[in-house]
Structure 1
Amino acid sequence: MKYLRIKGIDWYLEDDLLDDILNAIELTATDRRNYRTIQVNDNRCFLKSFKEKGLSGFFRRSINPRGKKEFLMGKRLLSFGINTPEPFGYGVSKQGSFIIQRYLNGKTFIDAFYESENKKGYTQQLAMLLKKMKDYKIRHNDLHLNNIIVDDNKLYLIDLHKMEIKRHFSISDEVSNISHSLAMVYHDLSEEEKETFFLTYGNPDIKKIVESTFMDMWKKWIERKKKRAFEGTSIVKKAKDVLYIKDSQWQREEVFKEVIKQDKKIALYRYSDHIRKYYKNKRRLKKAWEAYVVLSYMSLKATPEVFFIKLPGLIRPGFIAMEDLKGRGEELDRYLDRYYNQMDLKRRALFIETLSVFLKGLFKKYIFHKDFKACNIFIKEEGGFLLLDMEDIVFKIANEEDFIRMFIQLNTTIPKYIKHTDRMRFFLKIIEGTEVNKKRSLRRITKASSTMDIVYEGIDGLKFERFK
């Protein structure tokens, strides 16, 4: 390898062509993680920096900096015949370390998986990769599906700085690799696809052990992502007192248009190209941003797009800037008031089916909403649904009490004339496959709903009704 010292960084390079490139660019490891691409003749390279913080960072930088470790692990993987971006060199500075790799023009596994019609094929590929990792005693330690890239129908492992190649590979190591990689998609796999995965992996007996680890691992993962929602990460970027999601068009125009809503909890203002939601309670602002960040890590578009969050000051409230949905659909209560009586039986059944599929898809991923009023479900004109009021999104397994409360909220925020048969059809579809006691919960929902006012926003304004 060739050694060079360029602008305070010690470089260890395998490609002479990188000398001039590195001399021409300014590099610092001031962010926790930073990424950029550089052009080397006809090839694009990927340059990643790691900030080494605190006492642990000092020792790590001195003994085994992450850029160097990722370089060496990349070389080992390639020698095993496991795909990873080819490493060209690494650098070490007082602030952190760097890695230069071949650029992959692919997609993350999670994106490729959900865009594909051949999910079974992808699960088989993933199982074969994990089997090969087991054969070479490789434990990745951060093997979520954003750390596997699909390029030219091949799987590439990335983010290798936590990886270990072990002398002995235990059942705990196996479960770690499998559970981390499957956690984001497991509940979207059919039973046949699950069986195919474990048969291809070659150890069907490990299935029960893996499944038992998911919930605990999921809770820890959610808490980690929420905790880091206010830091600079691979997804969250900082600019002074503003946080935004990587690659989002976060810079917005400042032209004020109108006040949409003001009450004791929030203020909603329309600007020329976005909506600003101000929170009087800092905790609710924090919860809304945390929820959006977690959904972003999950690659789920279940809410309006958030452009950025402006952090609150000592006396200044914070706000979230998000997309303006005006003219692109309407909330469930208005939608039903406008269209329900025009729907024939077939169209009503289709609407109930699509709404229940959307909600059950979220429930499978342990995503729930504490305020399931009809005004918090948005029907997009182009098709599909969104959840509003992100501050009320929680990550949990919904139990019977949660579903009872959900149905009472929906029951009393949609028009009274919605037929009992359609309400029942929706109820049965939602609780299908859950442990909810149908008779007991239905009795409680009916009793509670009958004593409450029905309040919803219709096409002619706010409506008040009662079942009796």
Structure 2
Amino acid sequence: MPVKIKIHKNSALTKASIERTLEKFNHEGELIGTGYRNVIKILDIEGERYNIKGFKVPNVVNKIVYRFFRKSKAERSFLYAQRLLDSGILTPSPEAYIEYTSLFVFGKSYYISKQLNYDFTIRKLIDEPQCEDYENILRQFTQFTFQLHEKGIHFLDHSPGNTLIKKDGDDYKFYLVDLNRMEFKTLSYNERLANFARLSPKDYMLDIISDEYAKLINKPHAEVRERMYYFSQKFSSSFKKKEAFKKKYYFWRKKKN
């Protein structure tokens, strides 16, 4: 398939260095996560470490949609990263995106960013509720999310692994990753509170988050907490149903095969 390579104007990457790297993507590099759907790897390119996300080849319908009607996940990640940085929101430096397309269908795509050396993610606060500076981190993260909302950024994948955190003295810096699902608009009150639903079903986390957010938007804490609980429980229930369906479906498919 013909390939399109778009490199950020500030990147040191070249078309040749990207092509050489993608040739060895399948058998080299440090794998991040399971690689079950999308494959994320850290690779060295000319002495620098880069994070390369290879998106799963879309289904038959989306091969046409992404070819003609909608920007690919790779392109959206690239564009949204720059839009975040322009808005003063941190994310690993966008370097390039790559798309393979034929005359009629869309194929493989990749998004490349600079590898960020971070300390932990929000998941640490879920797994280690007794970790040092727990409440301060959570309150600063809530302030960060409030700034997203104030800037009209609706991060649809605002989940535990998608905010990288670096300690900076007594403060923390927050970097968004997995950027292809975003909206840029004025958020309603309910959209703001529902945006925390993917983070954790833990009541003690929501108690702190709701307390801090209530102060920031000048609303009663009890009201904000109740709405956050509602959206969290709603998401959790929906997630469990989807997982149960997938389990049943994949078991049936495996049995059939």
Mark yes or no: TM-score above 0.5: yes
- Larger Rg belongs to: 1
User: What SS class does the counterpart of residue 83 from structure 1 fall into?
Assistant: coil
Which residue does the alignment assign to 1:218? 236
Residue in 2 aligned with 1:174? 192
The change in CA–CA distance for 1:61 and 1:118 in structure 2 (over 3 A counts) is farther
**Structure 1, unpaired ranges of 5+:** 1-6, 232-242, 244-281, 287-310, 315-468
Closer, same or farther: CA 80–158 of 1 in aligned 2, 3 Å: same
Residue of structure 2 aligned with 1:9, choices 3, 21, 26: 3
2:92 is matched with: 85
Residue 43 and residue 228 in structure 1: after superposition, are their counterparts in 2 closer, same or farther (change >3 A)? farther
C-alpha change, 1:176 and 1:195, in structure 2 (3 Å) is closer
User: What secondary structure is seen at the aligned counterpart in 2 of 1:58?
Assistant: helix
Gaps of 5+ in 2: 27-34, 102-106
- Per-residue deviation, 1:85: 1.2
Would you say 1:43 and 2:39 are equivalent positions?
no
Q: Say whether residues 1:124 and 2:124 are aligned partners.
A: no
Residues 86/194 of structure 1: CA separation in 2 closer, same or farther (3 Å cut) = closer
- What TM-score do the two structures reach when normalised by structure 2? 0.76
The correspondence for 1:97, drawn from 100, 109, 117, is 109
| In structure 2, C-alpha distance between the alignment counterparts of 1:19 and 1:190, rounded to whole Å | 46
- Is contact 2:154–2:184 with CA below 8 Å preserved after alignment? yes
Matches within 5 A, 1:252-291: none
Deviations 1:102-158 (A, max 9, x none): 112333211255442222112112211111111111111121111111234421111
RMSD value over aligned CA atoms? 3.1
CA contact (8 A) 1:31 1:50 kept: no
Distance 1:18 1:230 in 2: 46
User: Residues 151-166 of structure 1 correspond to what in structure 2 (within 5 A)?
Assistant: 151-152=166-167, 153-166=172-185
In the alignment, structure 1 residue 111 sits paired with structure 2 residue 111 = no
The change in CA–CA distance for 1:194 and 1:38 in structure 2 (over 3 A counts) is: closer
**Structure 2 CA distance for aligned equivalents of residues 203 and 60 of structure 1:** 42
Q: Which position in structure 1 is the counterpart of 2:18? A: 22
Q: Is the 1:9–1:93 contact (alpha carbons within 8 Å) kept by the matching residues of 2?
A: yes
Contact 2:196/2:232 (<8 A) preserved: no
**Which secondary structure does the structure 2 equivalent of 1:221 belong to?**
helix
Query: How much does 1:190 deviate?
Result: 8.2
How has the CA–CA distance of structure 1 residues 133 and 165 changed in structure 2, closer, same or farther, with 3 Å as cutoff?
same
CA distance in 1, matches of 2:90, 2:61: 34
- Judging changes above 3 Å, is the alpha-carbon distance between structure 1 residues 201 and 36 closer, same or farther for their aligned structure 2 residues? same
Task: Note the C-alpha offset of 1:31.
Answer: 7.0
Following the alignment from structure 1 to structure 2, what is the Cα–Cα distance between the partners of residues 42 and 111?
Answer: 30
Name the residue aligned to 1:351: none
User: Compared with structure 1, are the counterparts of its residues 60 and 227 closer, same or farther at alpha carbon in structure 2 (3 Å cutoff)?
Assistant: farther
Tell me, in whole angstroms, the C-alpha distance in 2 between the residues paired with 1:211 and 1:204: 16
User: Which one of 29, 52, 60 corresponds to residue 54 of structure 1?
Assistant: 60
Separation of aligned partners in 2, 1:219 and 1:190: 17
Contact 2:125 2:134 in 1 (8 A): no
Moved over 6 A (4+): none
> Compared with structure 1, are the counterparts of its residues 130 and 16 closer, same or farther at alpha carbon in structure 2 (3 Å cutoff)?
closer
Inter-CA distance 194–75: structure 2 relative to 1 (3 Å threshold): closer
The 8 Å contact of residues 18 and 40 in structure 1, kept in 2 or not, is answered as no
Alpha-carbon distance, 1:45 to partner? 0.7
Is the alpha carbon distance of 1:57 and 1:170 closer, same or farther for their aligned partners in structure 2, counting shifts above 3 Å? Answer: farther
Cα distance 1:99–1:211, how it changes in 2: closer, same or farther (>3 A)?
A: same
Matched with 2:32 is none
| 1:69 to 2:76 alignment | yes
Report how far residue 204 of structure 1 moved. Answer: 3.8
Identity of aligned residues (%): 18
Distance (Å, rounded) in 2 between the aligned partners of 1:190 and 1:218: 14
Q: Aligned AA for 2:88? A: G
The code of the aligned residue for 1:23 comes to E
Q: Deviations over 1:321-380 (max 9, x none)?
A: xxxxxxxxxxxxxxxxxxxxxxxxxxxxxxxxxxxxxxxxxxxxxxxxxxxxxxxxxxxx
TM-score, normalised to structure 1, is 0.44
Distance of 1:43 and 1:226 partners within structure 2: 42
Aligned to 2:159: 144
Aligned to 1:146, what secondary structure does the other structure show?
Answer: helix
Shift, 1:78, TM fit:
0.7
SS in 1 for 2:42: strand
Note closer, same or farther for the CA distance 1:88–1:227 as it changes in structure 2 (3 Å cut). Answer: farther
CA distance in structure 2 between the aligned counterparts of 1:190 and 1:93, rounded to whole angstroms: 43
Alpha-carbon spacing, 1:230–1:60, altered in 2? closer, same or farther (3 Å): farther
What SS does the aligned partner of 1:219 have? helix
